[in-house]
Amino acid sequence: MKEKFKTLTSQCIPLPMENVDTDQIIPARFLKATSRQGFGDNLFRDWRFDKNGKPIESFVLNKPEYSGSILVAGKNFGSGSSREHAAWAVAGYGFKVVVSSFFADIFKNNALNNCVLPVVVSDGFLANLFKSIKENPKALVTVNLEQQTIKNETTGETEKFEINGYKKNCLLNGFDDIDFLLENKDKIVAWEEAHK
Amino acid sequence: MRTLFDKIWDRHVVQKVNDGPTQLYIDRLYCHEVTSPQAFAGLRERGLQCFRPKQIYCMPDHNTPTHDQDKPIEEPISRKQVATLEQNAKDFGLSYYGMMNPKNGIIHVVGPELGLTLPGYTIVCGDSHTSTHGAFGAVAFGIGTSEVEMVLASQCVLQPKPKTMRITINGKLKPMVTAKDVALYIISKMTTGGATGYFVEYAGEAIRGLSMEGRMTVCNLSIEMGARGGMIAPDETTFEYVKGREFAPKGEAWDKALAYWKTLKSDDDAIFDKEIKFEAKDIDPRITYGTNPGMGMGIEDAIPTIDQISESGKISFQKSLEYMDFKPGEKLIGHKIDYVFLGSCTNGRIEDFRAFAKFVEGKKKCPEVTAWIVPGSWKVDRQIREEGLDKVLEAAGFEIRQPGCSACLAMNDDKIPAGKYAVSTSNRNFQGRQGPGSRTILAGPLVAAAAAITGKITNPADIK
Ligand code: SF4
């Protein structure tokens, strides 16, 4: 059983760059672990810390005024490698939601498999949200999974987002894919029989 | 009126989940050491065995050093990851080709070489360049570790069916233009997100004219434009390549398989969600100038100027050029370089070594250039020696290293130092990909060879 997700209201951490790839999210040298834990500490490692491990003040995760469990990212977030470590890093840092106008496919899937909800919004919504956060780092966003809506609490702007019914159910109930597949073993065996 | 992709996908559907993904049966799972340990750990936590261990093949490649592979890996964490894979393969009864095993190498080089990759198959691996195997007319794509766990447990994945795209390259390629140049050209036109959500079929005279290895290079890079995967319909070139390989079907099984494989093509009236066409004559030898594979240009071209970049892309464009220390509008031909890397699952196959060796034959490596020449597998290494390419390379001042991913992602000690320029035949030029601060210029084996000889970005056509 995984954690359940229903609604969330939180401050946001803005990352307006486009095409943030998985090598930036979690550099390859941190992929050597053999468990899923601890990746959050190295999220955006090379943007966050200098060579000596000292926090780089200008990077958003190091700015005290920003906090929250929603990451708001520029278009095409999570492109590049299929490493699920990127999703573990995002989840491990404490993000529950990533908002962008476009996600790389594999990242999106990986995020969902780790209880991080990728919310795709329109370019306009995203631009306004960045603006709200820029003007006030404490700006709030509400994500309602049941209703599939996201609301910029500063402007009142609300959008619907897509998620398939199956994944939505999994997240709402803390149910996972392996539970589902194991329940369907007879169908797998039947497929094998039919395709010998 | 079905596409090739539809035919293979539909055949493998176990069920369509109501308002959800498709449950797809997987013929082949490849596992390497980086993305699998957490999946095996997950199985243990749930007390599960592998459902179909015979369909799963494991080998370390990312962490393997490219020297002294007969000794234990020095770096303790790398050593642990490789040992973990070996133990997992043993505990779960899976085929394992460890370091120094004659069958070891980069998984995407080894799978096809051994005949484990076959037309019509569904193939997955926790690695985005699994798309390589699509060159055989297979549906092959990268998955995350949670999905690796699903395949270990059930030989299935849950995936939404992607849309289909056909990219046709008409006409014949110019001399000195390799499959890599074709791929880099396509990606720069499509941009890094341009094929997201699609499964791509490559077609047209220029693609048909490629060898199997060239086709693998093209399919390998599909992911760099965001595609779920890329594929090419199998034909005589494919069957010829597969025939006689260790795990390929033999005798009657071969005849039966061949009859099926011959049906694997898109119907004449198949409808793709998107059709893109390019002309082979427009493709020159290529290089990248930025920090994603889509930031590429013809080798003689100039980097775009800032006003040619869309408003929203300006920040990343500038950041990228700053990192590379290039100027907008600058030409890179003649630019000094420090390193050359020949290898990776993109260009680490025997044909790449043949092309490189032929080019440098009778010439000398530029003394200021450090060259890493890394075969994709032990089999490639053996072929290099059988064909005498090692002599040619050595005479020109190149040393052959032991196989693995090497400087493609620099998880072992093959790291390009900060600030240095590397002309690399690998697939990613992301910031720090080849070592912290490294500056990668992606190119094909001939551009890499020309750079190794001159120490500069050089059009291979200009070298006599
Ligand atoms: S060679 Fe590079 S891209 Fe290919 S599998 Fe290895 S690390 Fe990945």
- Nearest-CA residue of chain B relative to A20? B316
Distance between CA atoms of A16 and A29, rounded to whole angstroms? Answer: 25
Q: Measured between beta carbons, which residues in chain A are less than 8 angstroms from residue B147? A: 109, 113, 177
- Nearest-CA residue of chain B relative to A30? B411
* Contacts with B310 (C-beta within 8 Å, 6 or more apart), sequence order: none
* Ligand 1 atom closest to residue B107's alpha carbon, by position in its atom list: 5
Q: What region, left, alpha or beta, does residue B176 occupy, with left being phi > 0 and alpha being psi -120 to 50 degrees?
A: left
Q: Is B370 on the interface with A (CB under 8 A)?
A: no
Cβ-Cβ contacts under 8 Å between A and B: the total is 174
Average pLDDT over residues A2-15: 92
Structure confidence at residue B413 as a pLDDT band (50, 70, 90): confident
pLDDT of residue A174: 83
Q: Which of B344, B372, B401, B427 to mutate to test the pocket of ligand 1 (most atoms within 8 A of CB)?
A: B344
Q: Is the pLDDT of residue A1 over 60?
A: no
Q: Which of B408, B427, B434 to mutate to test the pocket of ligand 1 (most atoms within 8 A of CB)?
A: B408
- Touching B: A residues 30-49, CB under 8 Å: 31-36, 46
Instruction: Report CB contact under 8 Å: A82, B411.
Output: no
* Ligand 1 atom closest to residue B108's alpha carbon, by position in its atom list: 5
pLDDT of residue A36: 82
- Nearest-CA residue of chain B relative to A36? B38
HEC string for chain B: CCCHHHHHHHHCEEEECCCCCEEEECCEEEECCCCCHHHHHHHHHHCCCCCCHHHEEECCCCCCCCCCCCCCCCCHHHHHHHHHHHHHHHHHCCEECCCCCCCCECHHHHHHHHCCCCCCCEEEECCHHHHHHHHHCCEEEECCHHHHHHHHHHCEEEECCCEEEEEEEECCCCCCCCHHHHHHHHHHHHCCCCCCCEEEEEECHHHHCCCHHHHHHHHHHHHHHCCCEEECCCCHHHHHHHCCCCCCCCHHHHHHHHHHHCCCCCCCCCCCCEEEEEEHHHCCCEEECCCCCCCEEECCCECCCHHHCCHHHHHHHHHHHHHHCCCCCCECCCCECCEEEECHHHHCCHHHHHHHHHHHCCCCCCCCCEEEECCCEHHHHHHHHHCCHHHHHHHCCCCECCCCCHHHCCCCCCCCCCCCEEEECCCCCCCCCCCCCCEEEECCHHHHHHHHHHCECCCHHHCC
Q: Measured between beta carbons, which residues in chain B are less than 8 angstroms from residue A81? A: 127-128, 428
- E strand or H helix at A9, and its extent? strand A7-15
pLDDT of residue B143: 93
Closest CA to B62 of B338, B374, B429: B374
pLDDT of residue B44: 94
CA distance B394 to chain A (A): 32
Instruction: Report CB contact under 8 Å: B160, A164.
Output: yes
Q: At what angle do helices B350-360 and B378-386 cross, to 10 degrees?
A: 40
The residue nearest atom 6 of ligand 1, judged by CA position, is B405
Instruction: Report CB contact under 8 Å: A195, B25.
Output: yes
Report yes or no: B144 and B126 within 8 Å, Cβ to Cβ: yes
Tokens describing residue B368: 């200021």
Question: What tens digit of pLDDT does each residue of B208-248 get?
Answer: 999 999 999 999 999 999 999 999 999 999 999 999 999 99
CA of A102 to the centre of ligand 1 (A): 25
- E strand or H helix at A185, and its extent? helix A185-194
Identify which of B62, B143, B159 has the shortest CB distance to residue A82.
B143
- Touching B: A residues 59-98, CB under 8 Å: 74-76, 79-85, 87
CA distance B147 to chain A (A): 8
Structure confidence at residue B312 as a pLDDT band (50, 70, 90): confident
All structural domains of chain B: 4-163+236-260 (3.30.499.10), 288-462 (3.30.499.10)
Average pLDDT over residues B195-214: 97
Q: Is the pLDDT of residue B21 over 60?
A: yes
* Ligand 1 atom closest to residue B411's alpha carbon, by position in its atom list: 7
> DSSP per residue over A85-124, as a string?
HHHHHHHHHT--EEEES-B-HHHHHHHHTTT-EEEE--HH
- Nearest-CA residue of chain B relative to A164? B20
CA distance A52 to chain B (A): 13
DSSP letter assigned to residue A30: G
> Strands B198-203, B163-170: parallel, antiparallel or unpaired by DSSP?
parallel
Average pLDDT over residues B180-190: 98
Distance between CA atoms of B193 and A97, rounded to whole angstroms? Answer: 21
Instruction: Report CB contact under 8 Å: A81, B11.
Output: no
Distance between CA atoms of B141 and B146, rounded to whole angstroms? Answer: 14
Tokens describing residue B59: 């080998």
Instruction: Report CB contact under 8 Å: B23, A51.
Output: no
CA distance A75 to chain B (A): 9
Report yes or no: B220 and B191 within 8 Å, Cβ to Cβ: no
Instruction: Report CB contact under 8 Å: A185, B19.
Output: no
* Ligand 1 atom closest to residue B376's alpha carbon, by position in its atom list: 1
CA of B295 to the centre of ligand 1 (A): 20
Q: Measured between beta carbons, which residues in chain A are less than 8 angstroms from residue B313? A: 18
Amino acid letter, residue B249: P
Closest CA to B293 of B452, B440, B435: B440
pLDDT of residue A34: 79
Whole-model pTM: value is 0.89
Q: Which of B220, B409, B426 to mutate to test the pocket of ligand 1 (most atoms within 8 A of CB)?
A: B409
* Contacts with B25 (C-beta within 8 Å, 6 or more apart), sequence order: A188, A191, A192, A195, B12, B13, B14, B122, B155, B156
CA of A89 to the centre of ligand 1 (A): 21
Distance between CA atoms of A115 and A105, rounded to whole angstroms? Answer: 16
Q: Is the pLDDT of residue B252 over 60?
A: yes
> What is the CB neighbour count within 10 angstroms for residue B85?
25
pLDDT of residue B313: 87
Question: What tens digit of pLDDT does each residue of A96-117 get?
Answer: 999 999 999 889 988 998 889 9
Question: What tens digit of pLDDT does each residue of A26-50 get?
Answer: 988 888 777 888 899 999 999 999 9
Closest CA to B114 of B35, B183, B57, B172: B57
Instruction: Report CB contact under 8 Å: A165, B411.
Output: no
- Touching B: A residues 127-156, CB under 8 Å: none
Instruction: Report CB contact under 8 Å: A182, B154.
Output: yes
> Strands B95-96, B56-58: parallel, antiparallel or unpaired by DSSP?
parallel
Instruction: Report CB contact under 8 Å: B155, A188.
Output: yes
Q: Is the pLDDT of residue A65 over 60?
A: yes
Report yes or no: B324 and B290 within 8 Å, Cβ to Cβ: yes
Question: What tens digit of pLDDT does each residue of B327-362 get?
Answer: 999 999 999 999 999 999 999 999 999 999 999 999
Q: Is B321 on the interface with A (CB under 8 A)?
A: no
Total residues belonging to chain A: 196
Question: What tens digit of pLDDT does each residue of A120-177 get?
Answer: 999 999 999 999 999 999 999 999 999 999 999 999 999 999 999 999 998 998 888 9
Instruction: Write out residues with Cβ below 6 Å of ligand 1.
Output: B 61-62, 106, 108, 127, 129, 344-345, 405, 408-409, 426-427
Instruction: Report CB contact under 8 Å: B19, A165.
Output: yes
pLDDT of residue B148: 96
Q: Is B389 on the interface with A (CB under 8 A)?
A: no
DSSP-based three-state secondary structure for A170:
helix
Identify which of B19, B154, B312 has the shortest CB distance to residue A181.
B154
Q: Is B417 on the interface with A (CB under 8 A)?
A: no
